[in-house]
Structure formats: C-alpha cells, structure tokens
Structure 1
Amino acid sequence: MALHMIKLCVGAATVEELLDWHAAHHGAGDPWIMRTRQTPKRAAEMTDGGSLYRVFKGVILCRQAIIEVNTVGEGVAARCEVTLDPTPVRVAPTPRRAFQGWRYLEPKDAPQDLSVEAFGDVPTELARQLREAGAW
C-alpha cells in the first residue's frame, strides 16, 4: 500500500510560483529533487505509489509522485533526497496547519486529485474559498 509524505512549501505561495522557481534554478532535463534532513524509515512504502503533498500558505494544493528516496552522505552530513515526478498534480485545496519538517500522510487522509475537465483552471484563491464554504 502506498504511503505519502506531506511537506510545507516555503517561499512559494502558489503551484505556479513553485514551477517558476524550479525552472529558474534547474535545467529542463534535471530531475526534480526535494532535499530534507531525515530519511523516512518507511521509504519503501513511499516509492510504491506514494506522492509528496505540498502545503502552500496553510492549504494542500498539489502532489508529485515519489520516484525514489535516497540517503546521501554519511554521519552528521547525511541527507535525504526524494526524486519526484516533474509534473505536479493539483488536488482539492485542503487546509493544513503548519508543522516542521515533513510528515507521513496515509492514503485515507490524502486530498483527492482535481479533474481538469470538471473544474478547468480555477484560481487558487477561489478554490480555497469554495472549499472553506463547503461548496467544493
């Protein structure tokens, strides 16, 4: 069974800003790697269909499939690199309180993917307001 990871996206307020940042700092063919200090003990479950869910300003807005989880370095210099699918998938905007680092996210607690055909390109703020009002 897939296990997901959830992490705050600091420095970007929207999915578009995150994509712009990645394009400005990495080449088109470079893999999308998220670095963190601690390697998950349940990494094998995360690479079996898991995704990284990103929290922007208190709201989960997208996910990226986890391709690989590696520990780089040794001892106190060891770090974790999570290789992600380069294409974010938008999810139903879901409020989430701030936390430090990353957390596991069980599949039953993960927000549903948004269908582009059903909702089109809804602005992030409008989607958040609709979700808070219970209309979405």
Structure 2
Amino acid sequence: MTAMTALNMTKIAFGCDGFDELRARLAARIERGENIVLSTRYLPKRVEEMTGGSLYWISQHRFGLRQPLVGFSELEGGRIGIVLAPVLIEVEPRPRRAHQGWRYLSAEDAPKDLPQDGASGEGIPAALHAELAAMGLL
C-alpha cells in the first residue's frame, strides 16, 4: 500500500506586482498569528485530499511562495473560505501560466521549498534563481 500525498492548490496573487507586495499585504495578519482566509464560490470537490496540502502563490508567471492549508469554512452569502496558516514559505521560482481562481496541484508537480536563509539549494540568492529560471537556465 502506498502513502497518499496531499493535494495542493495554486492561486494568482492578483493585484500584486510581485511577492514582496504579497508579503506586505499579509504582514500584519501574519505577525498577529492570524489565519488568512480567501473567499471562493465553491468548495473544492477533492477537499478530502487536501489535508496537509498547501496553497502555492503565483506572481509574474512563476511560483514563489506557499502557505499551508488549514481547512475550509463557510462565509456569508454562501461563499467558501480557504483558510491558510499565517506563514509564507519560499519555494523554487518555477514558471507557471496565469489562470483565474484556483487550480489543483499534485505533490509531484509542486515546487520544492527553498532553504530558510533566502538562498536556493545551490547557494544562489532566491531573486537571482528566479531570473535564471525565467531565462530557462535552471
């Protein structure tokens, strides 16, 4: 029997010019340790598979950050809340096409976390890693 891996989601950081702006938008709530709640119309059909998963943020046509999924909640007006942990984890800046709303992302297709010191696995600063990846050199 093989272990099940969590299903993840992707979402565009709409209205942000980059990940620094997304961090700034969420900073106060993260500092207070508050969960982040995003509103969507429908509960994902594969919600049971998302336990232990994350939401991967996309900006400027690339992955850059992820937040662990805490769960889902009901909001006013019949909407659904995607509840995210108050932490931002940098991931390898791989290219990703833009889309509307959110999409599923399998664990196998998810980018790897970057080391906490802001450098990629090869000792390259994260910003330079993103530029090289965008040029197709990594």
**What band does the TM-score fall into relative to the shorter chain?**
0.7 to 0.9
The match for 2:18 is 14
Checking the alignment, whether the CA contact within 8 Å between 1:39 and 1:71 is kept in structure 2 is no
Checking the alignment, whether the CA contact within 8 Å between 2:30 and 2:87 is kept in structure 1 is no
Q: Secondary structure at the match of 1:62?
A: strand
1:67 aligns with 2:76: no
d(CA) in 2 for partners of 1:121, 1:67 = 31
* Unmatched 5+ stretches in structure 2: none
The match for 2:104 is 104
- What does the per-residue CA deviation read over 1:8-51, in whole Å, with 9 as the maximum and x for residues that have no partner? 111223322112112357882432112222211111211x2100
1:39 aligns with 2:43: yes
Aligned length: 131
Runs of 4+ in 1 over 4 A off after TM superposition: 24-27
In structure 2, relative to structure 1, the CA distance for the partners of 1:26 and 1:108 (3 Å cut) is closer
Cα distance, 1:3 vs. partner? 0.4
- What does the per-residue CA deviation read over 1:77-127, in whole Å, with 9 as the maximum and x for residues that have no partner? 311111111111111101111111111001111011111345378353x22
Q: Which moved more, 1:58-67 or 1:20-29?
A: 20-29
d(CA) in 1 for partners of 2:88, 2:30 = 16
d(CA) in 2 for partners of 1:84, 1:14 = 19
Q: Taking structure 2 as the reference length, what is the TM-score of the superposition?
A: 0.81
Percent identical: 37
**Structure holding more strand per residue:** 1
Letter in 2 for 1:52: L
d(CA) in 2 for partners of 1:129, 1:38 = 35
Q: Secondary structure at the match of 1:34?
A: strand
Q: Taking structure 1 as the reference length, what is the TM-score of the superposition?
A: 0.82
Q: Secondary structure at the match of 1:55?
A: strand
